[in-house]
Amino acid sequence: MSGEKTDFIRFTGHRAFTHRIVLSTLTGRPVHISKIRSSSATHPGLAPHEVSFLRLIEAITNGSVIDVSYSGTTITYQPGLITGTVAGVNAGAVGDVVEHTLPANNTRGITYFLLPLALLAPFSKAHMNVRFTGPGVITSATYLTGDISVDSFRTAVLPLYGMFGIPPARIELRVLSRSCSGPGGRGGGGVVELRFASQVRLPKTLHLNRRPGRIRRIRGVAYCTGVSASHNNRMITAARGVLNQLVSDVHVAAQYDPAPLVGDKSGAKKKIGIGFGLSLVAESSADGVLYSADVVAPPEGGVVPEDIGARCAYQLLEVIAQGGCVSNVSAPTLLTLMAMGSEDVGRLRLGREVLAREETIGLARDLKKFGAASWGIRDVDDDGETTDLVVSVKGTGVGNVGRKVA
């Protein structure tokens, strides 16, 4: 038994839970995670969104073994093969789509599931088609947990996959029904479908260490569900009042949807997921350089649309001021794909604030535990114009095991 225990990579706590499961699945290394909220007197163990994520992993893989302790504070995960969507093999597969239902007590935005799913999709054996349904689907940004909206994910994260030889044209994100967070930040009732048909043997080496360039245009989406459609125009006007002083090419689309009807325990249906928010993405003159910002009204309300619009605009300016070629939203995705790519050294330019984030430092430590090389960090050669850093990441050459077998 002692020999088996040493095979597990051990972690404690719930920090970076999804990313550790993703790294375990990509590398094939089993993990043991203990002391998950063990000190909490009211909600110890795995949260509903973490349990739902484990079920999603089980649905898109074949041969995975997940053991959860009775209290939910300890899990062991032995990864299987990433199969994607194969009828008759995947649990919950209906035709060419895996249907995954989120519980009503879910407090995380749908991008909590989409970001790790998109990391696994290029390495699957078949296409990765997943539809998220149920009373817990929140398509907007989340006020309490800080998840980004589906709009920022589609416009600021998915296009970056093209730099790794993964064509974004074969990646489709369908928002079939929108929803903001319900009362107390729980539940939503939206419907989102991700169709990822860009599978590769090995991601290309990334060299994104050039100057970020100047912002040439800003795009965005103002969305509201279950409130007056005029909220969109008010948010757009406030955001343009800030941004038009700096960039002339600003275009923000307006998206209105009725609040979804979700059934409760008694069988009666009621409207939840009422709210509004704004997503903005700035595109630079340098290819592949994107910055994004997301602001949403809190579930309890009390905020006018003008405040949301102005706050999102200023947040975007702060993200741009941090420097680098990517923001903190997309940095973990790029760094992980670089580490999983061919055995060559890739380079990525980051702002000091982005690199100093707890999530980025934790990712570097986790990657090293899974066998990746340490990062090399140096100042950029811009004659002291910026304080940006260049991070060098050596690929492990893991690649797509399913494609290798096939």
pLDDT for residue 385: 75
Q: Is 398 helix (H, G, I), strand (E, B) or coil?
A: coil
Region of 323 please: left (phi>0), alpha (psi -120 to 50) or beta: left
Dmax (CA) of the chain? 67
Q: Does residue 45 have a pLDDT over 90?
A: yes
Q: Is the dihedral of CA 56, 62, 64, 70 positive or negative?
A: positive
Please tell me the distance from the alpha carbon of residue 26 to that of residue 246, in angstroms, as a whole number.
42
Q: Mean pLDDT of all residues in the chain? A: 90
**For residue range 143-182, what is the model confidence (pLDDT) as tens digits?**
889 899 999 999 999 999 999 999 999 999 999 999 999 8
- The pair phi, psi for residue 369, each rounded to 5°, is -65, -30
- Percent of the chain residues past pLDDT 70, beyond the cut: 93
Higher pLDDT, 218 or 183: 218
Which pLDDT score, from 0 to 100, does residue 179 have?
A: 93
Least confident of 240-244, 296-300, 312-316, 401-405: 401-405
397 φ/ψ angles, rounded to the nearest 5 degrees: 70, 25
Torsions phi, psi for 174 (to 5 deg): -105, 125
Q: Which fold has domain 1-82?
A: Translation Initiation Factor IF3 (3.30.110)
| Predicted pLDDT at 90 | 57
Cβ(102)–Cβ(135) under 8 Å? yes
Q: How confident is the model at residue 1 (pLDDT cuts 50, 70, 90)?
A: very low
**How buried is 361 (Cβ within 10 angstroms: 0-12 exposed, 13-18 middle, 19+ buried)?**
exposed
- 8 Å CB contact between 285 and 210: no
Return the SS3 of 383: coil
Q: Answer yes or no: are the C-beta atoms of 334 and 206 closer than 8 Å.
A: yes
Residues 6+ apart with CB under 8 A from 42: none
Taking only the tens place, the pLDDT of each residue in 355-393 is 999 999 999 999 999 999 999 999 998 766 788 999 999
The pLDDT of residue 5: 47
**Integer Cα distance of 266 and 127 in angstroms:** 39
Supply the pLDDT for residue 252: 96
Residue 4 predicted with pLDDT over 50: no
Cα–Cα distance for residue pair 291/6, rounded to 1 Å = 42
What are the tokens at 315? 């947040």
pLDDT at 88: 56
What are the pLDDT digits (tens) for 182-202? 888 888 889 999 999 988 888
Measured between alpha carbons, how far is residue 146 from residues 75, 185, 276 in Å? 25, 11, 15
Q: What is the mean pLDDT of residues 1-29?
A: 82
Domain ranges of the chain: 1-82, 210-322, 330-394
Identify the pLDDT of residue 195. 95
Strands ordered across the beta sheet of 9-12: 9-12, 31-34, 75-78, 65-68
Q: Specify the pLDDT at position 402.
A: 55
pLDDT in tens, 74-107: 999 999 999 988 765 555 566 789 999 999 899 9
The domain over range 210-322 is classified in CATH as 3.50.50.60: no
One-letter amino acid identity for 364?
A
Residue located via tokens 């038994």: 1
How sure is the predictor about 40, in pLDDT bands with cuts at 50, 70 and 90?
confident
